Amino acid sequence: MTTSTTLTPPAPSPARRADVGRPRLTFGRILDAEWTKIRTVRSTVWTLTSLFVLSVGLTALICSVAAGDLASGGGGGEPVGAFVTWGLMFGQIAALVLGILVATAEYSSGMIRTTLAAAPRRWSVLAAKTTVLTGLLLVLGTITSTAAIIAGNFFLDREGIGFSLGDSDVLRTMIGGGLYLAVLGVFGLALGLLMRHTAGAVTVGIALIFIVGNLVGLVPGAAGEWLTKLMPGNAGSTLATVESFNPDLLGPWTGFGVFAGETALLLLIAGWLFSRRDA
């Protein structure tokens, strides 16, 4: 006598049943979530508005005031090309602050726990934040630097010392403004991840870009000269100017390469800590 046996597959576990129909977590979905977060936060609008208004408005103001002196030779030998993006020196603070806020806002609100619960792959989260921030600042930074050059050049042209917008250094500055602000934003992002405190990160970032970058020049000898050249703000900002106020700094593309390398190193350290620390 033969007995037929029917094999019944085991019932799926509750966890597997819960996974059925759940959309797969891809990098594109994480990217979309980060884009939604950055564009719906009110501080993003105010920060980007400040970046544009300060950069373009202050450039137009300083060029309208200084154009006459520069044309008559009374500008103390200052390079004319350094004035057509003058306002960017202050507008860059907004890019730095935005990068810091992208990292620290979720820590201050406690939303970072929700983010990491939904997307536990922390390196993917960091990559998505970096991609969204870089793209946003690259586009707006290029528009801002172009608008600042046009606004400042209007007043210089009236005195006969303006630049052709097709000049290679002017075109490089238009693109370079976007590149510099984008990398500066990522620098702020890395700093924010390291410190996880908005006020502290903003203080340290502004000190590094504006204060320490000038103070290291007081170090005597070649050491002081090289420290000045290699400080993040000094190295990166030359790409965003037609002519630099300090001719002893690194060349535009060399300086930007140094700044990008410093930012990449800081981001790697921040990412390593981000992947290991508790939320």
d(CA 230, CA 261) in angstroms, rounded, equals 11
d(CA 232, CA 82) in angstroms, rounded, equals 19
Give pLDDT tens digits for 153-163: 999 999 888 88
Residue 279 lies in a domain: no
Q: What pTM, to 2 d.p., does this model score?
A: 0.87
Q: Which two tokens stand for residue 235?
A: 């190295």
Residue 129 lies in a domain: yes
Residue 102, pLDDT above cutoff 90: yes
pLDDT at position 111 is: 83
| Region 38-42 average pLDDT | 85
Residue 3 lies in a domain: no
Least confident of 98-107, 190-199, 214-223, 247-256: 214-223
- Give yes or no for a contact between 55 and 62, defined as CB atoms under 8 angstroms apart: no
Residue 16 lies in a domain: no
> What's the angle, vertex CA 251, arms to CA 93 and CA 222, rounded to 5?
95
Residue 192 lies in a domain: yes
Residues with Cβ within 8 Å of 270's Cβ and at least 6 positions away in sequence, in order, are 126, 189, 190, 191, 193, 194
pLDDT at position 2 is: 47
d(CA 181, CA 59) in angstroms, rounded, equals 16
The domain containing residue 163 runs over which residues?
26-274
| Region 251-256 average pLDDT | 94
Give pLDDT tens digits for 199-227: 999 999 999 988 888 888 888 888 888 99
- Reported as a pLDDT band with limits 50, 70 and 90, residue 75 is low
| Mean pLDDT for all residues in the chain | 87
User: Domain count of the chain?
Assistant: 1
Q: Please report the sign of the dihedral spanned by the C-alpha atoms of residue 141, residue 146, residue 150, residue 153.
A: positive
Residue 213 lies in a domain: yes
Residue 232 lies in a domain: yes
Give pLDDT tens digits for 172-205: 999 999 999 999 999 999 999 999 999 999 999 9
- Reported as a pLDDT band with limits 50, 70 and 90, residue 4 is very low
Residue 167 lies in a domain: yes
